[in-house]
Structure 1
């Protein structure tokens, strides 16, 4: 058992792989430094360094599975943690089976990622969850989701290929955090490649597509109708009662300045966590739907 006490997040069971995921590396760690760390355990055949938004992660592929197991086992039981430049780094098995460099044929870097979400149905992972996961790496411009023979997929557009590449390197082969998934979903894995698209054509804000650069984009009529079509009851006084709901319909009157999604979020967040916002014009007025957890 490790006496470092600093790696509790890696005590869960992982399937061994000859590719190791190394975290908490010093800034701009070099391939040579990784080779130096790994060479006591076997031959390293490929590396991918400076991965992630902070460029402090890497993937290391050994020539043989047993060499990778030897390294993980050693640091799991050693009183001395793995270190690079005197900084403690964390080593775990990767979900990848090999390290693939992005520049290979048929895999040209792009600012748009094609994401295949394995192990889920279309309704299990919302567009808001995808936005939360990918926003960790930079501003997400647009998202479009769809179903193909390969399963539930999404196109995620960033401002540039560098940001998209960082997101892909860090998330490809990983799972969406369990707390963001419905209870019936055990796990789901992301398979990510670069798309041939450079600018997604999003015509409506809906549960299937979103343009975060255009707060005035109309909401899909079907989304509005389904949100507003509620059953009403009649109270003892004979007056119609609106049922309680976690979605509020706000009408904005006498607008003195542009009311964006950010403005509405700021106002309504004072009363709780705002999950979703949709703004639209209806009957000549400006309205918004604001969704709370409950």
Structure 2
């Protein structure tokens, strides 16, 4: 019997080569367990500090008979098992072997997960990573990325042995100083095993490489490190330029459509492609120009400005890592302005509408010099965006336009009849009687226009 009145053994327990020890001193280590058990046989495994109070342990013998010998001895002995003067309770375990649970990072594999400490993404190039790890064997693939843990890389070797050798030699070490940029003092490597066995590299770039496939497509960003961050004279990293802008839109009181973005960004040069998407609960868009210079001008002019008055739809712009957006289909979220819209080309002609010279997309280059098209404003909200960032110039007259009209006459919609034509009739037959211009309340005249005769409707 134990000192606490509880039985020291469970006589009905099924014998096992693993024994369970209770009431151990909390600081009891593996050596003390082995010392207690080795008179009865060979101990092949132990597990200490088990349980809520860390006062239990398991000991596995090489043979079940050895465990039976120990349990039987202390069951019949007048002297209980003790460690540091404390009685230890012994019984057979329900398990037949001790299994140490290991995290995925401890299970050897041919792919290593490397965390590069004390650096930011782009500080250490993929070529430097390849140089360091290829010293231990042929590196098949590398993929770099950013996670909460920081800048990380997956390095794939041909076999587990090579990967294990690289891990054992490099874990906790630092990349040689001469391989690092001037503003980086040190880069420590923390290496574990990855659960991956074969990385899926879709193209060669500054972020990913497949050294086994020379025919893999090359992303333009991989050439000469175009997208690698550069360091300015003050030692701070500067943002790499690109022909694609990433626009984050804040305070979206009004919907921002493709047409709105096209109108705003076309003022600085031809827009090739636009893609709108939602990310982190906000709306973002990618706008592609033909060259970096045009994108830079647009970014500098529009950064921090609002599309609409009142601080609505504020633009925050940065350069994207993309260089050519892949627009596979036309929708209300993405469009490729370098090719015509198939739905527009196949649409049947509308009687009474002029189609000559019509384009599938708006053409802002046809606007009068010194003017810029303004995006459609919902609810008669006045637009605040001015691409020139100066006072708006006066609208020069365009032949055939209405007085004060700031854009050329449309080739798609018919002109309103002159005063000599009776109100309610249309010389082209395209506009039904009494029909007003879209976006203008019926029977209302714009400011500064005489109500006599046919009113000329245009946006201010």
Q: Say yes or no: TM over 0.5.
A: no
Q: Whose radius of gyration is greater, 1 or 2?
A: 2
TM-score band (shorter)? Answer: 0.3 to 0.5
Q: TM-score, normalised by structure 1?
A: 0.41
Q: Which has the higher contact order (CA 8 A, sep 6+)?
A: 1
TM-score (norm 2): 0.27
Q: Which is richer in strand?
A: 1
